[in-house]
Chains A and B, each alone.
Chain A
Amino acid sequence: MVDQALQDGARPMDALPGDSLPVGGFGRNHVAWWGVLCLIATEASLFAYLLFSYYYIGLQYGPAWLPARHPSLMLSAPDTVVLLLSSVAVWWGEKGVIQGRRRQQLAGLAIAILLGAIFIAVQLVEWSQKRFGIASSSYGSLYYTITGFHMAHVVVGLIVLATLLGWSVAGFFGQRRHTPILIGSAYWHFVDVVWLFVFSTFYLTPYLF
């Protein structure tokens, strides 16, 4: 298809002067939507390099490099569910704004913020229970840095969601003008998906050995 598109030739314009065009952009037809996709691409790369670092060092030393006891799933597994539920909440709130259901829009965002905050609180408890520090081994350095990077992204996501909630209360968004909500929600889903990779890496793969 690209090759075909690259063949130059006279081609009639599909949209001609005279068609009505949206002003400023609506929904995903908006420069900012492309912008957030770029942001997600570069952030995804960042996490890919972080996880590469983990696997690279891990492979150098083999299973002995892992902490003696496998990481507990007691807190981390339910916490993962909490984060995934927050994604569902954002999705539900996003549906609300698209379909003009204002209460659903506000409730979705608020619930997502609450669940995100719970996730962070549980993560902090999880951190406090670890017997190693960030400087005690390269495993510890990687554990705290990668989960810390992720947590920083959750914090940014929460600031974004809170700002969107404020703007929603102020009535800035409507059935057509709501690109910021789509953007915030895409970012939040991205942060949640990244957690699945981080979680699998630190909490699930050790059980393979």
Chain B
Amino acid sequence: MTALESDRIPRTVRVDGDWPGARLEEIWGTAPTLKGWLSCVDHKEIGKHYILTAFAFLILGGLEALAMRLQLAGPERRLLSPEAYNQLFTMHGLSMIFLYAGPVLTGFSNYLWPLLLGSRDMAFPRLNAFSYWVYLAAGLFIYAGFVAGHGPDDGWFNYVPYASRAYDAGINIDIYALGLILLGISTTVGAANFVVTFLQTRAPGMAISRVPILTWGTLTASVANLLAVPSVSLAFFLLWMDRQFGTRFFATAGGQPLLWQHLFWMFGHPWVYVVVLPAMGMVSDALPTFCRRPLVGYTAVALSTVATMALGFGVWVHHMFATGMPSLALSFFSGASLIITLPSAVAVFAWIATIWTGRPVITTAFLFFASMIVLFVIGGVSGFMTAAVPVDWQLTDTYFVVAHIHYVLIGINVFPVVGAIYYWFPKMTGRLLDERLGLWNFWTMFVGFNVGFLPMHLLGLLGMPRRVYTYGHGLGWSGLNLLVTAGSFLFAAGVLLLLVNVVLSLRRGKAAGRDPWGAPTLEWAVPSPPPSYNFAVIPIIASRHPLWEERLGLGGARSKLDEGYLLDRGRETLGTTALDARPNLILEMPEDSLAPLLLALGLVGVFVGALAHAWWVTAVGGVIGLIALIDWLWPRYIHADLEKVGG
């Protein structure tokens, strides 16, 4: 072992033109070949893949929604058969919730975290690649069933006994069950990666009081994922066992159908926060850039993020108020569901205060973020209404809840995400999106969304149940439904404008430079797009706004962005302590590798074999996965060896 290097004093240097960038590019660059692409572990590439894939699922889910809206445009229409409609609403729900809303935020966080935190990559770059491949595989797995005519048709929350074999005998529910377990693996390893990245790879000096709120959001969501995802994976596994091997977990006689609802919502409610907290974090970070002042109440907002999630684990029963529970339990969960409003209120008032105490400059990104505040409040108050049990007994399972979930998911996820595209597209591509088209994009989406979804509240109050493929004449719902359909097409046109803007600006957009917004955080200190190694030197951080210290005239020490840790003996970045971010470690980062893809393929083999009861496929997949895993974990001490070779 003596040949191995064990300790080193890392050199600190000042960046000098091309140096040390060129040398780092040699170390960190990925070969522009197919193999290079398949084995790439660069968080920025993986992040972009996540975002693009999530948008592909968003578009599929959107088309499914448009088909449903045509069917519901008038009473007793026969455009879609009930079976087709039921598959469509199920695919729409699971696409948007599982394949778009979570992964798109994972994508942004993946792309942004190391840039925000002053690191060269995530803590586990290969795990990151693995997480993406498994996500892609899970999405394709579920969609393959749908394309082949075996789409799941029991809604995204898939209640038993309808999802049991006696009532839904096809392979469709099995595909959904196994696909979601596969997706759970991706989510879990991704979550672990974010947690460890947060704890270990922040630039020196970036104490937890100085991290951007987005990282608080994603960290909180990731911890929640670690604790909550096993619940839904288990639920789907037990369901699959019930369906395939006759176990009796959810059986009507001797088992318990309600167990499904508990396991599903113990996951499902935290998941709601998983798909909004990082997006709220993006607003908390980007809105201040346009308001030209730091976020009001950083500490309050950071703590409210964590508090939301902590409370979020105690309110799952409010999805089950109508299952016939004792009044005492109802009262408790009703109270908890009301109280969870408080941390959200903190964020809303912090944003409003940031606008009022700043001097906002109106851009497309700003409009998306500022309008999100209003949409968030609409989604919030409708959630507040469903927290009151007697009211919920009327509201639940009507279009009121459909309106609520869309104000939450579109208002608090899609609007911030589109804002984030306008904000960070220049960083990712080096080009700005067109602002004129951007304004059209914003107003079309904003008007379309509200015309499409605001009337749904009223439809719900007028008694229209959710998940009906049609409705009768004489119920008073026809006019509003036509309006909703019109609004949804307008909204879709808005999304189309976004795509048009992206395609046009990729080629003709204005050059962005490093920092087109005069923004405060670290990602704007590196070129656009950032080089493979992110930072030529690991910066040393002295405040929450390293790029605004001059402008704000902060006293005390200044952050050093051009002078810092070199770390150029192979892929390396700096490890720091969890709270104060003091340097305590030189992290050896892995080379590009095919092992993540191979492990993902092995895993797909395991699941395809299980679906088809072709156990030999499962066994082969398992063996491939095991080999890939052992190769992956083989102790190499890579850089120490490089030391020996390089002298």
A-side interface residues toward B, CB under 8 Å? 2-3, 5-15, 17-26, 29-31, 34-35, 38-39, 41-43, 45-46, 49-50, 52-53, 56-57, 60-61, 134-135, 137-138, 140-142, 145, 159, 163, 167, 171-174, 176-177, 180
B contact residues, total (Cβ < 8 Å): 78
Task: Say whether B195 contacts A38, CB under 8 Å.
Answer: yes
Given contacts A12-B557, A134-B247, 15 further A-B pairs with CB under 8 A are A3-B299, A6-B208, A6-B303, A21-B583, A23-B640, A24-B640, A29-B575, A34-B123, A45-B227, A49-B230, A57-B256, A135-B245, A140-B247, A141-B241, A177-B1
Task: Say whether A6 contacts B238, CB under 8 Å.
Answer: no
Task: Say whether A13 contacts B192, CB under 8 Å.
Answer: no
- 22 A-B pairs, CB-CB below 8 angstroms? A5-B208, A6-B298, A10-B557, A11-B205, A14-B580, A17-B565, A24-B587, A26-B6, A31-B124, A35-B123, A39-B192, A45-B227, A45-B230, A53-B238, A53-B259, A57-B249, A135-B248, A137-B254, A138-B248, A138-B254, A167-B635, A174-B1
Task: Say whether B575 contacts A31, CB under 8 Å.
Answer: yes
List the count of A-B residue pairs having beta carbons below 8 Å apart: 200
Given A6-B303, A7-B209, A23-B639, CB of A49 within 8 Å of CB of B226: no
B542 near A: Cβ within 8 Å?
A: yes
Given A18-B9, A31-B200, CB of A24 within 8 Å of CB of B639: yes
Q: Please provide the chain B residues from 1 to 46 with a CB less than 8 Å away from any CB of chain A in the complex.
A: 1, 4-10, 12
Question: In the complex, what residue of chain B is closest to A18 when comparing beta carbons?
Answer: B9
The secondary-structure label for the interface of chain B is mixed
B-side interface residues toward A, CB under 8 Å? 1, 4-10, 12, 123-124, 127, 188, 191-192, 195-196, 199-201, 204-205, 207-210, 226-231, 233-234, 238, 241, 245-249, 251, 254-256, 259, 262-263, 266, 298-299, 302-303, 540, 542-544, 555-557, 565, 575, 579-580, 582-588, 626, 630, 633, 635, 637, 639-640
Task: Say whether B582 contacts A13, CB under 8 Å.
Answer: yes
Task: Say whether A17 contacts B635, CB under 8 Å.
Answer: no
What's the Cα separation between A141 and B540 when bound, in Å? 56
Task: Say whether B588 contacts A24, CB under 8 Å.
Answer: yes
Q: Which of B9, B248, B251, B630 has the most CB of A within 10 A?
A: B248
Given A5-B579, A167-B635, CB of A177 within 8 Å of CB of B247: no
Q: How far is the CB of B367 from chain A (nearest CB, A)?
A: 29
Q: Which residues of B contact A46 (CB under 8 A)?
A: 230, 233-234
What's the Cα separation between A46 and B579 when bound, in Å? 28
Q: How far is the CB of B525 from chain A (nearest CB, A)?
A: 19
Question: In the complex, what residue of chain B is closest to A183 when comparing beta carbons?
Answer: B633
Task: Say whether B7 contacts A20, CB under 8 Å.
Answer: yes
Which of A10, A34, A134 sits near B200, CB closer than 8 Å?
A34
Q: How far is the CB of B523 from chain A (nearest CB, A)?
A: 19
Q: Which residues of B contact A138 (CB under 8 A)?
A: 247-249, 251, 254-256
Q: How far is the CB of B589 from chain A (nearest CB, A)?
A: 10
